[in-house]
């Protein structure tokens, strides 16, 4: 039989369809399914049939309809117009879909991923006769007032510029530069295509020694993450995963934020859409939306597109990294993505491994997290992709497969804790089960840029908290009254650390973002108080005296009372504390003298 | 093409397999004639000319030879008009109250379509339920999906009825308020209880009831919540009404899904439930919300009974990941005679942060709610300690927490089935209870708010 130009639908089971006919489909090729031309992807090729996952609802599809090949893998468009926009899992623009089909997402809406009509002010950076190689910047566009979009030579093109337009207003499909490579001539526009499942190339990976500053004390001070690092936030429902992710998206000092809402709630995406345009980037005073890309595939949107959304997000992140930006990608939640894998695997009747998840779950997770990193790009600039993945463990149990396998590929683990969330201690990051493997790599940076003893102070805080954990086990059995005063002090000061330092109020104007300098001074104040009290206790002054004098409360409230731009107030606070403590000490000595 | 197929290839549980079918489309409806009886089915899998069909009325009495099957050429659509208000329908939306057919203004696909997140309006308007524990600590917001996690033998039905009776939605009135009630696999008495309560509350003509009772076919149960939500969406988005949807019991629904999945021979994941349970539940729960520019809203209160009171069971677990919070009922509280037995610590409303406080309820509401949670969590610690060393041995402060805990459960959570407290009463009550604790312990409340609202029992002049 001769080859046909397309395949024929044979079987349909939810999002998975079987295709027959003798067209030789390629693995991971993008195909158009049925009369409505729904987008699908080849996920298995057998001798007699091809299996395709469809990115849209398959209701109404019939056996016998055709499946048309496109010849290329699932590819997205990379070019100006991405920032500030919101896309679905396969980079279809939701705003324009809404304009065309109204409030509900209809099937088979095919439209350009990026706006092709909009004219961009393009500054051409090359001229005729220049030699260009992959990654070289040929033009610049002010994509938003926060982001300069650098148009680069695609990774597969190099040669001599034989034609270059002048600066001017062009749409994204305008050929701006022609490059001659041997006998072929490449016409370069403002966009390039890239298959989402393939990492974009770079020159070499760099050591991770610069922190990603988030303004969240429990992260920056206790469990910091490096630019180009990987982190997981696992937590059962209601522990504040999404809130924590939102805080990162709002305040971290990345240049570009890619937020992937993967199988989560529609209202949460709406919240981001409403909030971000009104929030101001603390670094440049511009709206946060001007550096943000949203990928939204809510839980009721097709499951196959949910699987793809993670790859779409990371590809966009890598593209901006190639321009020399620090990019942070938040994936909320990777568990939904793993479940999408499971769902499709189940429909393919593959042999399941743990809890019904496919055996290739760990390799898919590792492929994804390995796309993070700080690199020297092909064009010599430096950029990074930091991945922060939320994990929603079943039943809040961290021993389930997704959490366990994720743990193998990440180096920062921010464990959210149900009991902290119950007491409304947010962010509910548990300080005993969380860890960061970046601390050592980042110590030098903190030393040079903040204070030489930053990390020493951090270690002390963490040691006090450890001690408290042990003491609390005793308190649970016998109550706190019979502890010796030194240990009571440990418990009190730990309370100060927990409530005054670790707890952070996302809804308070001062506390939602805290600069590192203030984080240091807060730590410093707590430790100074502790040191002083440790000296006073042996004089026989009970802890309750200090508690009644309100010194602990004063310190706890410093996060609200001291403004981020008025760090001098810490001196006043410390002076006042000392004054109170001096008085107590003097009173006590007086009383002692009288007794003598 | 209107071919009729005689006979079947296979029958398995609620599924039948038809061979030699031409031109079938996925999820298309089919009519199956068994003798004189007409049953409806839906194609759920196509493999060449073989179709797997789920039969809504069940497969009893069907043999491989005694059927004639006809394809209807369209997916399951529901006839809708405003006349559905006040009607009682079966699990597939067919009238069972003997008042005749519904004259449709419109047919809508029961699967609905996902709302484009760009077109959603973020829910901010508070719904006053008149129940202190809910209004104060897990505030219901218009357009939210807030499930009740309950157990067998707990008064979740009463709670739902009380919410429906007392719910006050801002700018909703008799005219534009409706209730859609869907019963899935519940007992006849339960359905009857709801009907009776709606009648007593005088709202029966604002209610659409979908009844799939415990002895009704399992397959029908799969479409019941979808029919109900289609009706709700129609009323909300086409007729500008504020719709409160009550779905009970989602556990029966999930079990029906498992039953069908296993008849299909699918690979099970956790506890035998299909791997797509999350996506499937999401396709129900996500159908709540408000559309930008629209006047109506869909608010969902699904009720589910946690098997063995286990909140980590797949059904409550996956539900919690999709819904915007949960109201958890607790057996211990119920045994101590607390009604409604809301266990406030694991309960949560994710949307309340933007729908309370100044301009919505009262400025002190967010701080008070936080403080109550924190203090009540502390009560649990003190109680654990007291059970070891005895209440007598507790420190003075811990004793105050014990008192606060008791008063909180007896006065704040406990509420009569007919008692309605508005939000001001609820908050004032909260302040009175917080008065049991010394001012320094109220670390979640700003000094300014404390100054304005804190009352110590001494000033109050009475011991609570």
DSSP string of B148-195, one letter each residue: EEE-TTS-HHHHHHHHHHH-EETT--TTTEEEEEEEEEE-HHHHHHHH
pLDDT at B462 over 80: no
* Chain A stretch 258-277, residues whose beta carbon is closer than 8 A to a beta carbon of chain B: 261, 263, 265-267, 269-271, 273-274
User: Residue B457: which pLDDT band, with cuts at 50, 70 and 90?
Assistant: low
Q: How far is CA B59 from CA A134, A364, A580, B215, in A?
A: 64, 42, 82, 14
Pair of tokens at residue B29? 């409806």
Q: CB–CB of B282 and A10 under 8 A?
A: no
pLDDT at position B459, please? Answer: 54
Nearest-neighbour CA in chain B from A530: distance (Å): 20
- Count how many residues are written for chain A: 596
Give tens-digit pLDDT for B420-455: 999 999 999 999 999 999 988 888 888 889 999 998
**Cα A482 to chain centroid, rounded:** 46
To test the contact with chain A by mutation, choose from B117, B121, B289, B399 the residue with the greatest count of A C-beta atoms within 10 A, namely: B117
Q: How confident is the model at residue B458 (pLDDT cuts 50, 70, 90)?
A: low
Q: Scanning the structure block, which residue is given the tokens 């129940």?
A: B131
Distance from CA of B166 to the nearest CA of A (A): 26
The reply to whether B85 falls in a domain is yes
- Look at residue A348 and tell me whether its pLDDT is greater than 60: yes
Taking the CA of residue B198 and the nearest CA in chain A, the distance in Å comes to 30
Distance CA B166, CA B133 (A): 14
CA distance B260 to B41: 13
Shortest CA distance from B350: residue in chain A? A238
User: Which chain B positions have a beta carbon within 8 Å of A58's beta carbon?
Assistant: 26-27
B413 with B454, same domain: the answer is: yes
Question: What percent of chain A clears pLDDT 90, i.e. is strictly above it?
Answer: 67
- Asked if residue B90 and residue B65 are part of one domain, the reply reads no
Residue B433 lies in a domain: yes
Average pLDDT over residues B242-254: 94
The per-residue pLDDT for A236 is: 82
State how far residue B146 is from chain A, nearest Cα, in angstroms: 12
How large is the average pLDDT for residues A323-335? 94
End-to-end Cα separation, chain B, in angstroms:
77
CA distance A76 to A55: 14
Which of the residues A59, A107, A265, A492 would you substitute to probe the B interface, choosing the one with the greatest number of B C-beta atoms within 10 Å? A265
Confidence of residue B58 (pLDDT cuts 50, 70, 90): confident
Please tell me the least confidently modeled range out of B17-21, B87-91, B455-459: B455-459
Chain A CB within 8 Å of residue B24 CB = yes
Q: In the structure encoding, which two tokens stand for residue A107, read together? A: 């099937």
Cis (ω within 30 of 0) for the bond into A333?
Answer: yes
Which A residues, 349 through 388, put their C-beta within 8 Å of a C-beta on chain B? Answer: 349-350, 352, 355-357
With an 8 Å Cβ cutoff, is A422 touching chain B?
yes
Residue B399, pLDDT score: 93
B313 alpha carbon, distance to own chain's centre: 17
Q: Cβ of B48 and A63 within 8 Å?
A: yes
Could you list the beta-strand ranges (E) of A198-278: 204-205, 230-234, 256-262
Look at B269 and A352 and tell me if their CB atoms are within 8 Å: yes
Angle between helices A334-347 and B277-285 (to 10 degrees): 120
Q: What is the pLDDT of residue B395?
A: 86
Q: Is residue B426 part of a domain?
A: yes
Q: Which residues of chain A does B313 touch, with a Cβ-Cβ cutoff of 8 Å?
A: 395
Judgement on whether residues B181 and B320 belong to the same structural domain of the protein = yes
Minimal CA–CA distance to B378: which of A428, A429, A495? Answer: A495
Is B39 part of a structural domain of the chain? yes
CA distances from A459 to A220, A433, A441, B230, B254 (A): 13, 16, 15, 57, 49
Pick from A114-118, A157-161, A395-399, A487-491: least confident: A395-399
Please name the residue of chain A whose CA is at the shortest distance from the CA of residue B24.
A62
- What is the CATH number for B11? 2.40.30.20
Return the exposure string of B147-161: e unless at least 16 CB atoms fall within 10 Å of the residue's CB, then b: bbbbbeebbbbebbb
Chain B, 386-425: which have a CB under 8 Å from a chain A CB? 388-389, 393-395, 398
Q: How crowded is the C-beta side of B168, counted as CA atoms within 13 Å? A: 10
Does the residue B125 lie in any domain?
yes
Residue where a domain terminates, one of B305, B326, B354: B354
**Domain boundary residue among B36, B51, B74?**
B74
Q: Which residues of A touch B446 (CB under 8 A)?
A: 560
Residue where a domain terminates, one of B74, B97, B112: B74
A48 Cα distance to chain centroid: 42
Q: Is A1 a residue whose pLDDT tops 50? A: no
d(CA B195, nearest CA chain A) in Å: 31
pLDDT interval class at B463 (50, 70, 90): very low
Q: What is the pLDDT of residues B255-293, one digit of tens each?
A: 999 999 998 888 888 889 998 899 899 999 999 999 998
List the single residue in A296, A480, A499 with the smallest CB-CB distance to B117.
Answer: A296
Task: Tell me how far apart the alpha carbons of residues B191 and A461 are, in angstroms, rounded to a whole number.
Answer: 58
B350 and B201 in one domain?
yes
pLDDT (tens digit per residue) in A402-443: 999 999 999 999 999 988 988 888 999 999 999 999 999 999
Within-domain flag for B360: no
The per-residue pLDDT for range B201-244, each reduced to its tens digit, is 888 889 999 999 999 988 899 999 999 999 999 999 999 999 99
Residue B359, domain member (yes or no): no
Residue A382 has pLDDT above 80, yes or no: yes
B419 and B273 in one domain? no
Q: Which domain holds residue B426?
A: 365-460
Contact assessment for residue B167 and residue B127, using Cβ atoms and an 8 Å cutoff: yes
Shared-domain flag, residues B152 and B234: yes
Half-sphere exposure at residue A365, Cβ-oriented, CA atoms within 13 angstroms: 32
B326-384 pLDDT, tens per residue? 999 999 999 999 999 999 999 999 899 888 988 889 999 999 999 999 999 999 989 98
Q: Is A488 touching B (CB cutoff 8 A)?
A: no
What does the pLDDT average to over B192-196?
92
| Spatial distance between the Cα atoms of B442 and B421, rounded to a whole number of angstroms | 24
B269 lies in the same domain as B399: no
Q: Does A342 touch chain B (CB under 8 A)?
A: yes
Here the tokens at position B352 are: 């309340």
Q: Does one domain contain both B302 and B420?
A: no
- Within an 8 Å CB–CB cutoff, is residue A61 touching chain B? yes
What is the distance between the alpha carbons of residues B319 and B323, in angstroms, rounded to a whole number?
A: 6
Which of A581, A474, A570 lies closest to A530, judged by CA? A581
Q: Do B253 and B344 lie in a common domain?
A: yes
Instruction: Point out which residues pair with B150 in neighbouring strands.
Output: B305
- Chain A contact present for B292, CB below 8 A: yes
Residue A284 has pLDDT above 90, yes or no: no
CB B123 within 8 A of CB B142: yes
Residues B137 and B229 in one domain: yes
Same-domain status, B384 and B408: yes
Residues 6-25 of A with CB under 8 A from B: 10-14, 18
CB A208 within 8 A of CB A441: yes
Residues of A in contact with B311 (CB under 8 A): 395
pLDDT, tens digit, 9 for 90 and up, residues A432-459: 999 999 999 999 999 999 999 999 999 9
Chain B interface includes A394 (CB < 8 A): yes
- Residue A152 pLDDT class (50, 70, 90 cuts): very high
User: With contacts defined as CB-CB under 8 Å, which chain B residues touch A418?
Assistant: 346
Q: What is the pLDDT of residues A540-591, one digit of tens each?
A: 899 989 988 889 989 998 999 999 999 999 999 999 999 999 999 998 888 8
- pLDDT band at residue B464 using 50, 70 and 90 as cut-offs: very low
Chain A residues with CB under 8 Å of B325 CB are 238
Q: Are B16 and B32 in contact, with CB atoms under 8 Å apart?
A: yes
B374 to chain A: which residues are within 8 Å by CB? Answer: 423-425
* Average pLDDT along chain B: 90
Residue of chain B whose Cα is closest to the Cα of A473: B385
Chain A positions in Cβ-Cβ contact with residue B275 (cut-off 8 Å): 339, 342-343, 345-346, 356
DSSP assignment of A492-542: HHHHIIIIIII---TTSTTTSS--HHHHHHHHHHHHHHHHHHHHHGGGT--
Closest among A329, A363, A176, A343 to A258, alpha carbons compared: A329
CA distance A161 to A178: 6
The 10s digit of each residue's pLDDT in B312-329 is 899 999 999 899 999 999
Residues of B in contact with A237 (CB under 8 A): 317, 320-321, 326
For residue range B395-412, what is the model confidence (pLDDT) as tens digits? 889 999 999 999 999 999
Distance from CA of B458 to the nearest CA of A (A): 20
Say how many domains are in chain B: 3
The span from the CA of B44 to the CA of B15, in Å, is 9
End-to-end CA gap in chain A: 113
Domain co-membership, B214 together with B296: yes
Q: Is B91 helix (H, G, I), strand (E, B) or coil?
A: coil
Which one, of B199, B12, B130, lies nearest residue B421 by Cα? B130
C-alpha to C-alpha distance for A72 and B40, rounded to whole angstroms: 42
Token pair listed for A117: 């009509």
B270 touches chain A (CB under 8 A): yes
- Residue to mutate among A93, A235, A299, A556, with most B CBs inside 10 A, is A299
For all residues of chain A together, what is the average pLDDT?
Answer: 91
Inter-residue contact B223 to B57 (CB < 8 Å): no
CATH of residue B334? 3.40.50.12240
Question: How do residues B87-128 score in pLDDT, each as one tens digit?
Answer: 999 999 999 999 989 899 999 999 888 999 999 999 988 899
pLDDT for residue B461 is more than 70: no
Q: How far is CA A123 from the centre of its chain?
A: 31
Which residues from B are below 8 Å from A261, CB to CB?
117
Do residues A245 and A233 make contact, with C-beta atoms less than 8 angstroms apart?
A: yes
Q: Nearest by CB to B267, which of A62, A346, A395?
A: A346
B-facing residues of A in 196-255 (CB < 8 A) are: 236-238
- pLDDT for B172 equals 67
Distance from CA of A452 to the nearest CA of B (A): 33
Q: Is A395's pLDDT higher than 80?
A: no
């Amino acid at each position: 039989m001769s080859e046909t130009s397309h395949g024929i639908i044979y079987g349909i089971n939810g999002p998975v369809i079987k295709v027959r006919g003798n067209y030789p489909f390629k693995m991971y090729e993008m195909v158009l399914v049925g009369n409505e031309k729904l987008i699908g992807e080849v996920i298995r090729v057998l001798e007699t049939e091809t299996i395709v996952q469809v990115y849209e609802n398959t209701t109404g599809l019939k056996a016998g309809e055709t499946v048309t090949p496109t010849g290329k893998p699932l590819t997205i468009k990379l070019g100006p117009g991405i920032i500030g926009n919101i896309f679905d899992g396969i980079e279809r623009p939701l705003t324009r879909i809404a304009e065309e089909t109204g409030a509900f997402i209809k099937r088979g809406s095919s439209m350009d991923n990026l706006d092709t009509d909009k004219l961009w002010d393009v500054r051409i950076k090359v001229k005729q006769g220049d030699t260009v190689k992959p990654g070289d910047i040929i033009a610049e566009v002010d994509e938003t007032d926060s982001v300069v979009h650098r148009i680069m030579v695609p990774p597969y093109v190099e040669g001599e510029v034989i034609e270059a337009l002048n600066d001017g207003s062009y749409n994204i499909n305008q050929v701006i530069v022609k490059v001659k490579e041997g006998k072929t001539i490449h016409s370069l526009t403002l966009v390039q295509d890239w298959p989402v499942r393939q990492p974009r190339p770079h020159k070499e990976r760099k050591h991770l020694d610069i922190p990603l500053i988030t303004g969240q004390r429990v992260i920056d001070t206790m469990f910091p993450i490096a630019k180009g690092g990987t982190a997981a936030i696992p937590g059962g429902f209601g522990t504040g995963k999404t809130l924590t992710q939102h805080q990162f998206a709002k305040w971290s000092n990345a240049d570009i934020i890619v937020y992937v809402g993967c199988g989560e709630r529609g209202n949460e995406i709406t919240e981001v859409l409403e909030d971000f345009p009104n929030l101001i980037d603390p670094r440049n005073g511009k709206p946060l939306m001007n550096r943000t890309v949203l990928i939204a595939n809510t839980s009721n949107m097709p499951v196959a597109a949910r699987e793809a959304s993670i790859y779409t997000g990371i590809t966009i992140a890598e593209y901006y990294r190639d321009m020399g930006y620090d990019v942070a990608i938040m994936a909320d939640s990777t568990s939904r993505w793993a479940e999408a894998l499971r769902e499709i695997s189940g429909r393919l009747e593959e042999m399941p491994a743990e809890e019904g998840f496919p055996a290739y779950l760990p390799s898919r997770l590792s492929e994804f997290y390995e796309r993070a990193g700080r690199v020297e790009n092909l064009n010599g600039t430096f950029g990074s992709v930091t991945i922060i993945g939320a994990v929603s463990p079943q039943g809040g149990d961290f021993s389930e497969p997704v959490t366990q396998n994720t743990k193998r590929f990440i180096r920062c683990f921010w464990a959210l804790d149900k009991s902290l969330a119950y007491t409304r201690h947010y962010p509910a990051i548990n300080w005993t089960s969380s860890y960061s493997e970046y601390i050592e790599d980042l110590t030098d940076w903190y030393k040079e840029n903040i204070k030489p003893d930053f990390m020493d102070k951090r270690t002390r805080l963490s040691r006090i908290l450890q001690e408290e954990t042990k003491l609390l086990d005793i308190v649970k059995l016998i109550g706190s009254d019979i502890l010796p005063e030194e240990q009571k002090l440990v418990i009190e000061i730990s309370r100060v650390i927990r409530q005054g330092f670790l707890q952070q109020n996302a809804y308070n104007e001062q506390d939602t973002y805290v600069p590192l300098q203030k984080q240091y001074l807060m730590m410093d104040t707590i430790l100074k108080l502790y040191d002083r009290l440790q000296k006073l206790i042996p004089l026989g002054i009970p802890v309750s005296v200090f508690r009644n004098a309100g010194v602990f409360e004063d310190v706890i409230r410093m996060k609200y009372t001291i403004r981020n731009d008025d760090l001098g107030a810490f001196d006043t606070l410390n002076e006042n504390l000392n004054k109170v403590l001096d008085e107590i000490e003097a009173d006590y000595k007086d009383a002692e003298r009288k007794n003598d | 093409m209107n071919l009729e197929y005689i006979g079947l290839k296979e029958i398995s549980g609620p599924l039948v397999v038809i061979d030699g079918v031409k031109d079938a489309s996925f999820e298309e409806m089919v009519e199956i004639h068994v003798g004189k009886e007409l049953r409806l089915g839906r194609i759920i899998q196509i493999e060449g000319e073989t179709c797997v069909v789920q039969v809504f009325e069940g497969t009893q009495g069907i043999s491989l030879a005694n059927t004639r099957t006809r394809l209807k050429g369209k997916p399951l659509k529901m006839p809708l008009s405003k006349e559905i208000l006040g009607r009682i329908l079966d699990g597939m939306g067919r009238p069972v109250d003997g008042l005749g057919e519904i004259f449709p203004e419109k047919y809508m696909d029961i699967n609905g379509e996902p709302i484009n997140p760009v077109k959603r309006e973020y829910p901010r308007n508070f719904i006053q339920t008149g129940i202190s524990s809910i209004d104060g600590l897990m505030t219901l917001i218009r357009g939210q999906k807030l499930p009740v996690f309950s157990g067998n033998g707990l008064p979740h039905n009463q709670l739902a009825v009380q919410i429906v009776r007392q719910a006050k939605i801002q700018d909703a009135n008799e005219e534009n308020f409706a209730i859609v009630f869907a019963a899935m696999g519940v007992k006849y008495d339960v359905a009857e209880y709801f009907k009776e309560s709606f009648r007593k509350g005088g709202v029966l003509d604002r209610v659409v009831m979908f009844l799939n009772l415990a002895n009704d076919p399992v397959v029908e149960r799969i479409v019941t919540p979808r029919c109900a939500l289609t009706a709700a969406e129609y009323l909300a988005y086409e007729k500008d009404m504020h719709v409160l949807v009550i779905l009970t019991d989602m556990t029966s629904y999930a079990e029906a899904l498992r039953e069908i999945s296993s008849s299909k021979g699918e690979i099970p994941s956790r506890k035998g439930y299909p791997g797509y349970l999350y996506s499937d539940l999401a396709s129900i729960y996500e159908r709540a919300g408000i559309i930008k520019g629209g006047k109506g809203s869909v608010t969902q209160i699904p009720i589910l009974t946690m098997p063995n009171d286990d909140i980590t069971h797949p059904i409550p677990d996956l539900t919690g990941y999709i819904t915007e919070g949960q109201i958890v009922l607790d057996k211990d509280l119920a045994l101590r005679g607390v009604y409604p037995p809301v266990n406030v610590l694991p309960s949560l409303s994710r949307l309340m942060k933007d729908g309370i406080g100044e301009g919505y309820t009262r400025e002190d509401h967010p701080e008070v709610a936080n403080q109550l949670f924190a203090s009540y969590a502390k009560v649990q610690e003190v109680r654990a300690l007291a059970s070891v060393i005895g209440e007598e041995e507790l420190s003075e402060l811990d004793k105050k927490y014990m008192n606060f805990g008791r008063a909180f459960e007896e006065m704040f959570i406990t509420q009569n089935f007919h008692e309605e407290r508005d939000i001001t009463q609820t908050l004032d009550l909260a302040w009175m209870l917080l008065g049991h604790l010394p001012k320094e312990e109220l670390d979640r409340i700003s000094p300014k708010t404390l100054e304005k609202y804190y009352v110590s029992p001494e000033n109050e002049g009475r011991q609570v």
